[in-house]
Chains A and B, each alone.
Chain A
Amino acid sequence: MSAKTLYDKLWEDHLVHTDEGGTSLIYIDRHLVHEVTSPQAFEGLRLTGRRPWRPESAIATPDHNVPTLGRAKGIADPVARVQVAALDSNCEQFGIMEFGMSDIRQGIVHVIGPEQGFILPGMTVVCGDSHTSTHGAMGALAFGIGTSEVEHVLATQCLIQKKSKTMRVSVEGKLGPGVTAKDIVLAIIGEIGTAGGTGYVIEFAGEAIRALSMEGRMTVCNMTIEAGARAGLIAVDDTTIEYLRGRPHAPSGDNWETAVKAWRDLHSEPDARFDREVRLDAAAIAPQVTWGTSPEMVVPVNDRVPDPDSEQDATRADGMRRALDYMGLEANTPISEIPVDHVFIGSCTNGRIEDLRAAAAVAKGRRVADHVVQALVVPGSGLVKQQAEQEGLDKIFTEAGFEWREPGCSMCLAMNADQLNPGDRCASTSNRNFEGRQGKGGRTHLVGPAMAAAAAVAGHFIDVRELQ
């Protein structure tokens, strides 16, 4: 038997059945549910008279559609209101625990799952949302699924899968000061491309990954899908275990000790072989800024917008020209000369307490530049918001001219009222810079939280290391 990767171990631990063609049924331990990708799945259960196999394996919350202002008044948009109400009634009917819009535990599914200790090492985790990859930070096999699969998991507690290939991305050495998890993952995507991970599960390893906090690891795993891989993984270590200790849904007493013992085995064996290996030097990573309409269109902040004329591949060059046109940018412009008029700090990528602290450290004692129309700070959950307020971060932000909002997905995908207008240019801590992602015609530049705050106060992109 060859040495196992972490993915091999998780796969084997959940394998219910495999047919001759290699199509397998894997058992699902945890299911996160939100309002956008679940109503048709619940409707499917009703139409077929099926019940959830294990309703206590799921947790639900509305996040995509919820307003971040004036929440006490409810949702103004009637279509969104119906969708959130459908989640409430579906959870009620099918016995699923829900943190409703007025619950302090409400927030972005991928923030509240780990926060509650609901997602634990060694689990399989699914959600009708591609950023489910976040939970790989816990040493859990976690991936996004479609609505048909949401229904399938609700009805059977299993998923039909084929085993993926494995890739290890090792980030060796130490990050420089002012360089964060977001910069690591953007640099990785820049290296392997937005389809580089298609068909793979990526394990992130190396000194720089081990040195990250759990929240930093979640940021890295969150954006695995932006490299095309459905799941990212990080081995369990002391950092993982200390993060989980005492969380509401984490085991306690003897169960905790037994669990920790089992979790300690959740790493790839030293001789394990991966289908692909990628190495990055942490010390060479600078703060990153995307310039185009795909997360792979990324450069260091001290670089320039690339020139399609120097791209050999015709399809790629064509994509670059289209991106420059959409983004309203000229090739060879220094990144630091690009002005921004909107800033968004939040999302399942960067809406956790450490992200808000990093942004507040930059905002403190400074002012949002005059021409910046809006600078939003949207905590990832009610509990993150509460913690930030206890630390006085809300005051720092509001005194600097940022808006302090209620938790949700907000301007990451702009399903609620938080949207860009055509031509608006936003420094955003979210995960996708696709055309129209933050509003039709909106122009998104992905950055880390400190870089976003720095862009807000400078009014253009700036190397945050120059501010500190």
Chain B
Amino acid sequence: MDKFKKFTGSVVPLDRANVDTDAIIPKQFLKSIKRSGFGPNLFDEWRYLDQGQPDMDNSSRPLNEEFVLNDPRYQGGQILLTRDNFGCGSSREHAPWALADYGFKVIIAPSYADIFFNNCFKNGILPIVLNNEYVDNYFALSGGESALELTVDLEAQTLTMADGEKITFDVDPFRKHCLIEGLDDIGLTLQHSEKIRAFEAQRRAKAPWVFGD
């Protein structure tokens, strides 16, 4: 995984609550056996007017001009601003794969669904939880002629606007460390192999039926 570095990017405001992972990446694209290439189908049913299929040339499909990803102001955005319970529903990791493939590095919302929140960190995406007051303010500031620009500094846990106005956010220290260092969870866990084996032996003695004994 790439290391998460400080960056300045523009905000894409998606003003909906309870955006589910079926909306983020519809089921027909889940047939892929790869991790990449989902970006053009991110929010497919909202983004295009026709019905998307895995083998289509997306560049020639009719766009829904009213959808925020198609608004000229928000092209190239790296920060997705949204509402409560983002990423609810299916556990599909194709949702953060699609967001990352499109170019999103950060999501800002008042709350997330648990599985999605967890999946983001495994894919180098930082989901930031901010209270409604800040989220409302960012939505208001995103409604102008150009997109809101924010500098995201994970090390310092700050979001800074172009005029220097800064707010801080919380993040779990372990997850922060993994994002900044671009660490592979599996490698970290395997450092505890001896402990896992010892645990397994003890569990086997106590509950042999778990092991088919």
Interface residue ranges, A against B (CB under 8 Å): 13-14, 16-17, 19, 21, 23, 25, 27, 29, 36-37, 39-40, 43, 48, 50, 53-54, 56, 64-65, 77, 79-80, 82-83, 86, 120, 122-123, 128-130, 143-149, 151-152, 155-158, 160, 162, 194-195, 198-199, 225, 228-230, 249-251, 255-256, 258-259, 262, 294, 315-316, 319, 322, 413-415, 432, 434-437, 440
Known: A39-B33, A415-B27, A434-B22. A155 touches B190 (CB 8 A): yes
Q: Which of B6-14, B61-69, B195-203 touches A? A: B195-203
Chain A residues lying within 8 Å of B22, measured Cβ to Cβ, are 413, 432, 434-437
State how many angstroms separate the Cβ of A221 from the closest Cβ of chain B: 16
Contact check, B213 vs A255: say whether CB atoms are below 8 A apart: yes
State how many angstroms separate the Cβ of A411 from the closest Cβ of chain B: 11
Contact check, B92 vs A37: say whether CB atoms are below 8 A apart: yes
A319 and B16 CA atoms in complex are apart in Å by 7
Q: Which of B71-79, B112-120, B141-149, B157-165 touches A? A: B112-120
A75 and B27 CA atoms in complex are apart in Å by 17
In the A-B complex, the 3 residue pairs with the closest CB atoms = A251-B209, A148-B122, A146-B93
Known: A83-B31, A437-B22. A160 touches B189 (CB 8 A): yes
Contact check, B51 vs A440: say whether CB atoms are below 8 A apart: yes
Chain B residues lying within 8 Å of A249, measured Cβ to Cβ, are 212
Count of interface residues, chain B, beta-carbon cutoff 8 Å = 60
Contact check, B174 vs A19: say whether CB atoms are below 8 A apart: yes
A228 and B210 CA atoms in complex are apart in Å by 29
A253 and B166 CA atoms in complex are apart in Å by 66
State how many angstroms separate the Cβ of B33 from the closest Cβ of chain A: 4
Contact check, B18 vs A294: say whether CB atoms are below 8 A apart: yes
Contact check, B45 vs A152: say whether CB atoms are below 8 A apart: no
Contact with A along B72-92 (1 / 0, CB 8 A): 000000000001110011111
**B130 at the A interface (CB under 8 A):** no
Contact check, B207 vs A228: say whether CB atoms are below 8 A apart: no
A56: contacting residue among B54, B84, B111, B212, CB under 8 A? B212
Contact check, B54 vs A156: say whether CB atoms are below 8 A apart: no
Chain B residues lying within 8 Å of A437, measured Cβ to Cβ, are 22, 27
Chain B residues lying within 8 Å of A432, measured Cβ to Cβ, are 20, 22, 89-90
Chain B residues lying within 8 Å of A147, measured Cβ to Cβ, are 35, 93
A256 and B33 CA atoms in complex are apart in Å by 40
Chain B residues lying within 8 Å of A158, measured Cβ to Cβ, are 189, 192, 196
Residue in chain B with minimal CB distance to A422 = B51
Contact check, B45 vs A436: say whether CB atoms are below 8 A apart: yes
Contact check, A228 vs B186: say whether CB atoms are below 8 A apart: no
- Give 20 pairs: A residue, B residue, CB < 8 Å, sorted on A: A21-B173, A25-B189, A40-B35, A48-B186, A56-B211, A79-B55, A128-B93, A130-B90, A152-B189, A155-B190, A228-B85, A251-B209, A258-B208, A259-B209, A315-B84, A316-B17, A413-B90, A415-B31, A434-B22, A440-B45
Contact check, B85 vs A130: say whether CB atoms are below 8 A apart: no
Known: A79-B54, A255-B209. A194 touches B190 (CB 8 A): no
Chain A residues lying within 8 Å of B196, measured Cβ to Cβ, are 16, 25, 27, 53, 156-158
**B28 at the A interface (CB under 8 A):** yes
A120 and B190 CA atoms in complex are apart in Å by 27
Interface residues of B in 102-118 (CB under 8 A from A): 111-115, 118
State how many angstroms separate the Cβ of A258 from the closest Cβ of chain B: 8
A322 and B31 CA atoms in complex are apart in Å by 29
A319 and B28 CA atoms in complex are apart in Å by 25
**B168 at the A interface (CB under 8 A):** no
Known: A77-B31, A83-B33, A144-B115. A315 touches B83 (CB 8 A): yes
State how many angstroms separate the Cβ of B47 from the closest Cβ of chain A: 12
Given A230-B115, A250-B209, A259-B209, 4 new contacts (CB under 8 A): A160-B185, A259-B207, A415-B27, A432-B90
